[in-house]
Chain A
Amino acid sequence: MATINPLLVSLDIKSSDRVVSIKENGNVDSNFVITHLIKQILGDGNRMCFVILHNTLGHYQNVGKRLGYDFLKQIEEGRIRTIEPLKDIVEDIGNETNYFVDDKEQVVKGLFKSIKSTMEELVEAGSSRVYLVIDDISHLLDLGIDLKYIISFINYCLSLINDERISVVINTHVCSKSDEIICNNLNYVSDVVIEVMPLKTGVSREVTGLLNIEKSGKEQVTQFHFKAYDKGIKTFHLGESVYNLYK
């Protein structure tokens, strides 16, 4: 059995958590939560539909290697299906098609249609759970899509949960008022809210940021400090960074 990853143990995402939202504040990078969750998903033998709006496949491949999974190989084997709007945007520039059309509702509907068909194929393919992971839904704002369409898009994605085997993980970056609205909507419907934020008073060499985990039903929020190293992430209880420095 592979070694247990301490971050995943801290996060403790179960298959009963159907909607997970990850909130990224400020300049700290919350991508590690998704990459660790991918490890958990693959480790449990489940499948995944990945909508990538922020990073590229190469990034996930490199990070995946450090965590112990081969991202590109999983795509080849069909366990991970990716939807990359970034590539479509490059095609659309100058052509006024797809993402650049006037009617933003079409953009959102189109994206959801491709997600839905991919998810259906993944569900047909086996009996494992299927996860929909969206990396950075706040970038839809950067495409000029109005807030109401983004909220409808979130609703479409959540409607997928009617199928027992599907779970949804959505990452959003918060730095403006519109982002706050998306984020609050997500928090309202989520089973687990993972919040990653920088330290309030500045930058530290020993602690990269703060990690808050809130589960619906539980009153208390679990808090950790974390430090990002080249090879991985170390989490520790608040103020205990000293014990982890020399490992």
Chain B
Amino acid sequence: MEKPSRGSFNIPGTVINGQNAQLLTSTGISSVDSILGGGLPVGTVTIIEEDIYGSHAKIMLDYFLAEGIVNDHSTLVASLDMNPYNIIKNLPAVIHNDPEESTISSDSIQDDKMRIAFRYQNLPTSDKDSHNIGHYFDLSKTMSLADIENSDICYWNGQRIENGTSMFANPAYNELLKAVKEKIKEGKFFLKDNPSKRNVLRVGIHSLGSPMWLPSRDSYHLMNESRDLDMFIFCLRALVRSAFAVAVITIPTHLYHENSLDRCIHSSDIAMRLQTFSGTELENNFSLSDYHGFFHLTKLAAINSFASKHPGSIEYVFKLRRKKFHIEKLHLPPDLQEVGSSNSTPPSIACGSSNKHLLEF
């Protein structure tokens, strides 16, 4: 990412990370932002490997797009599986407070005043990030049409597909690349452009690589099933690197051969994977019952530095509440005997009455 040298510019919804000279923008989900070390760097491609039914990945994409609309960023939304208008129509509504936290903070007011540690009474109990660049969204309500109409959204659903390019087996990939490039050109998002007011383009692609994207019947590039996808992501990387754009793509990787999308992950900058519990044996696991699935951060590229803020070997889980999608660290509860759905009573010694007091004999 070229560090912009023209004066100080301030794009709403972004923050500059001085350490790495990166421009970060929020994913819409504050817990994901903190795992990524602040947010998504502008100029990067993020891949979300979908869970089995794709629903949670779609929710993450919804947050990303909603965040863009709230910040007045330009948006390009593309999908061959769903009508992009429907994706935008069903984005979560923005609210001002965290929907979960508002209930917690009202309880804490009734807490007892601390008698011994009274000096610490007024200190905040949880550490909140000081730069919280994201907004809060409420999944139970949809975004108002007024907000949607006022923002610059470009929809792509693969209608105008011309034949004739042999670079990609399925010409839809080429069309989408052209559409992204046109949008960047038209909105003057290129790094070398000099518009009066700088803005960021958010590219959200839903379900890339799904069966709708498979090669057409008469193509001869059948040897490598993910060749198109590799090419597309590499070219998209080239595009967003040269512009103030950030791309988030959801891919149903479970439809592909294991490890066949490793090249795509190499071409991308950030890769995450969602693994739901429903339908697997983990669904019945007691310690995981609060959560809906695992969240794996497969890759976090070290851009502009040697080391990325990859959290290392921490397990993350996600849960989908009615109003909020949330990712947190997995803390397994202590393995005490009495915790469990089957509370087995300790065996009593036969001699004497069956009393609780073992000392009475």
Contacts and interface: CB of A to CB of B under 8 A. Distances in A.
Contact of A27 (B2, B265, B304): B265
Contacts of B165: 96, 100
Given A86-B241, A142-B267, A230 B262 contact: no
B239 interface: yes
Interface residues of A, number: 44
A167 to B, nearest CB: 24
B305 interface: yes
A144 B233 CA distance: 12
Contacts of B304: 58-59, 62-63
Interface stretch (B75-83, B118-126, B306-314, B353-361): B306-314
Contact of B267 (A90, A96, A139): A139
A205 B19 CA distance: 21
B305 A62 contact: yes
Contacts of A100: 165, 167
A108 to B, nearest CB: 15
B239 A175 contact: no
Nearest to B271: A27
B313 A204 contact: yes
A204 B312 contact: yes
A141 B2 contact: no
A57 interface: yes
A243 interface: no
B299 interface: yes
Contacts of B178: 93-94
Contact of A228 (B1, B19, B306): B306
Nearest to B179: A94
Contact of B313 (A139, A143, A144, A203): A203
Interface in A82-105: 86-87, 89-90, 93-94, 96, 100, 102
A173 interface: yes
Contacts of B21: 58, 62
B176 to A, nearest CB: 10
Interface in B226-285: 227, 230-231, 233-235, 237-239, 241-242, 259-260, 262-263, 265-267
Interface in A210-243: 228-233
Contacts of B181: 90, 93-94
Given A228-B302, A228-B306, A230-B307, A58 B3 contact: yes
B20 interface: yes
A127 interface: no
A68 interface: no
B212 interface: no
A61 B306 CA distance: 12
Given A94-B177, A176-B262, A144 B303 contact: no
Given A59-B303, A63-B306, A141-B230, A205 B263 contact: no
Contacts of B238: 86-87, 89-90
Given A58-B2, A63-B305, A142 B230 contact: yes
Contacts of A32: 306
B93 interface: no
Given A94-B178, A102-B166, A56 B2 contact: yes
A66 B306 CA distance: 9
Contact of B239 (A61, A66, A93): A93
Chain A CB within 10 Å, residue with most, of B2, B233, B304: B304
B2 A93 contact: no
Interface string A124-151: 0000000000000011011110000000
Contacts of A89: 234-235, 238-239
Nearest to B233: A142
A201 B224 CA distance: 29
15 contacts: A27-B298, A56-B43, A58-B304, A59-B1, A63-B305, A86-B237, A86-B242, A89-B234, A90-B238, A93-B181, A138-B266, A144-B231, A175-B263, A228-B306, A231-B306
Interface of A: 27, 29, 31-32, 55-59, 61-63, 66, 86-87, 89-90, 93-94, 96, 100, 102, 138-139, 141-144, 173, 175-176, 178-179, 202-205, 208, 228-233
Given A56-B241, A173-B266, 17 more contacts: A27-B298, A29-B302, A58-B21, A59-B1, A59-B303, A62-B21, A62-B304, A89-B234, A89-B239, A93-B177, A100-B165, A100-B167, A139-B267, A142-B267, A202-B313, A205-B312, A230-B305
Closest 5 CB pairs of A and B: A175-B262, A142-B234, A228-B307, A62-B304, A86-B238
